[in-house]
Structure 1
């Protein structure tokens, strides 16, 4: 029972959690690491439920100040061409004067000279971050999570900006969706080449958590990332969407707020959408709710027959089955945007590489503590610091799971979590 803002915490993982070895030789496992990384969750008792926690995120809190330099990438994917932005966390005394008024606060473009000198042989861990729907590197929830890592001087970090977000420009008619993994994949490849000795880690929030989980499922053990954290992942988009539409507050507040954010994003890029697509932008900009936007934009742009088909395809709960690096997932059970019915308890209990940590309170990207702090930053930093500096990442013991496959060999069936379809071998 919750009392005075004290949330209960639960962990879900495989009966045989992923075996790990500390650098001092001590044997441990992923569950033990996660349990040690997650502190007690004492939240502000005045924000007594998920709605209060979620709505308080609209307060104009300043949060920890971070400065960024932006690099523009040209996409290397033939079909998903165009440009996208990546913001790199930077430190230095003159950054305040360098801020660009056309970009989010405390952000400027790299100069040509700075771009020419990017790269190093150092072995500092590097964090690749994905923000939430229509957000960016400036978001308060993101800065609360990564500021302690940057301020420690031991980490580097960059934020992959979803196309069109955070004052970035699009050069085609493509924005992004929850299966849009190609930009983070290209960024990770570039980081691997540019900083060959840096171990890479991942962190995603909300829709960015969905994208990151889908990327990890697609890559499996081939990803260069060593470990990752996903926070407030919506997991089963079709379930969350239906739950939102089924209540007054979900439909007329949350769906509308999310829809307004995408309408504003589309408005900023109306010229490009008119130039490169056949979408009726006047109709698009008159819509109110997120599911209406997804029907009017995501479906014709990506070829989905319905928004429900998009939600099912873009959901990441099945991708969780294919993750093959240590992954900590944080969700609040009272999150009104991510329904508790969408949380992947069964999938997490199947995969030893994943631990699902749920708190009974917290809302959607809330977790507000007394005094205004954000609890979620503590387990994020604790877990990443432990994995980067305490664990021997070359000694992972999968407890015999290996590249786990699903299906029934007796009947010639196999299941691919990424394709989300059962396959039957045909006798010819």
Structure 2
């Protein structure tokens, strides 16, 4: 039932190409910074997470999770902060380990299926006894983490968590990784590999002898990167094992709060397995909306303060 077939997003006339929709926001969108108040919390393994709050004195909170190599200052995060603040919600933008401007303490950092840090954040927020309703919004990798967390928790999820929105989600990591290896995505892949390499170099300085960066320039794909670094650093046998165990798609049937998944059909990062139509059709909780256009975290609107995805997320959460 919750497959939403009649999405009303239409790309601007000048941005009909999926790559233009993907790239335009990061290069050309003008958006003011958020008035963040930062808190640092300690994780159970002795590391830390930096949380950026933007508060309106509300009892309703939206937790925002960024994408791969993002952070709380990314434009797509700020757009969500501003639209929800304007509607009277508090927000907190979670920076994954090593993404807040300072390397984290431990050898491992973050990955597409790491949900214990989100659980620690939720536990901290609930302990404040300040919020009667908490909602989650995740982008790309952060969307997969959001959905995986809710699927893992199922009916045991904290009752304060009421709904979630996940945008441009590679819910099948193998499919998404294969799509990004295609020639038309070479610019994105090169950038990801470059940025992740910088993070690894910092780790190598922190932990001499623990990370082998010899021939790193030969790494060309997520499969190579995950086989060589992500999997061994986080306790997985290899890239395939990591992708299988960390994809949110198999856990979607276990979600027990309303969630909206927005994946554009022209998203250059997503393979066909990232569109879980059959799961959504058989679920009371997973709503799937697949606009024909939107690119990856695109959904640009000209002449308006907010993008379509931001208005859609707000409308869904308000409805819930």
Q: 1:123 to 1:223 in 2, by over 3 A?
A: farther
**Displacement, 1:60?**
4.3
Q: Is the 8 A contact 1:141 1:365 kept in 2?
A: yes
Pairing partner for 1:302 from 226, 231, 234:
234
RMSD: 2.3
**More helix as a share of residues:** 2
Matches of 2:139 and 2:10 in 1, distance apart?
Answer: 21
Structure 2 stretches lacking a partner, 5+ long: none
Residue-by-residue CA offset, 1:354-388 (whole Å, 9 max, x unaligned)? 1101100000001112347521111011111222x
2:87 paired with 1:134: no
Aligned to 2:307: 374
Aligned to 1:83: 48
Residue-by-residue CA offset, 1:24-82 (whole Å, 9 max, x unaligned)? xxxxxxx7xx98xx7x3132121112122112244143324312122111112xxx442
Matches within 5 A, 1:99-138: 124-138=59-73
**TM-score when scaled to structure 2?**
0.91
Residue-by-residue CA offset, 1:238-287 (whole Å, 9 max, x unaligned)? 01212232x3122x222222212212332344322x24x72213544764
Q: Is the 8 A contact 1:141 1:374 kept in 2?
A: no
Give SS of 2:240's match.
helix
Aligned to 1:239: 175
Matches of 1:284 and 1:170 in 2, distance apart?
Answer: 22
Pairing partner for 1:315 from 232, 247, 251:
247
**Displacement, 1:146?**
2.8
2:9 paired with 1:44: no
Matches within 5 A, 1:148-159: 148-152=83-87, 154-159=88-93
2:316 paired with 1:386: no
**TM-score when scaled to structure 1?**
0.69
Q: Is the 8 A contact 2:58 2:90 kept in 1?
A: no
Structure whose CA Rg is larger: 1
Q: Is the 8 A contact 1:126 1:199 kept in 2?
A: yes
Q: Is the 8 A contact 1:160 1:183 kept in 2?
A: no
Structure 1 stretches lacking a partner, 5+ long: 1-11, 15-30, 92-121, 388-428
2:120 paired with 1:186: yes
Pairing partner for 1:346 from 278, 289, 298:
278
Q: Is the 8 A contact 2:40 2:51 kept in 1?
A: yes
**Displacement, 1:305?**
2.3
Q: Is the 8 A contact 2:103 2:202 kept in 1?
A: no
Q: Is the 8 A contact 1:43 1:370 kept in 2?
A: no
